[in-house]
Amino acid sequence: MSPVVVLVGPPGSGKSTIAALLSERLGVRHRDTDHDIEAAAGKPISDIFVDEGEPHFRKLERDAISAALQGDGEVLSLGGGAILDAGTRADLAGHTVVFLDVSLGEATKRVGLSVARPLLLGNVRTQLRNLMEARRPLYGEVAKLTVLTDEKTPDQIADEILEHL
Angle between helices 15-26 and 154-164 (to 10 degrees): 60
23 is annotated as contributing to ligand binding: no
CB-based contact 40:64 (threshold 8 Å):
yes
Q: Looking at beta carbons only, is 53 or 72 nearer to ligand S3P?
A: 53
Pattern 81-110, ligand S3P, x by CB under 6 A: x-----------------------------
34 is annotated as contributing to ligand binding: yes
Note the residue count of the chain: 165
Distances (CA, A) of 153 to 42, 73, 102, 108, 157: 33, 25, 13, 17, 6
Q: Is 14 in the site for ligand S3P (CB under 6 A)?
A: no
Q: Looking at beta carbons only, is 4 or 9 nearer to ligand S3P?
A: 9
Q: Looking at beta carbons only, is 3 or 81 nearer to ligand S3P?
A: 81
Rounded distance between C-alpha atoms, residue 63 and residue 30, angstroms: 18
Q: Name the site residues for ligand S3P (rule: CB under 6 A).
A: 11, 15, 34, 45, 79-81, 117-119
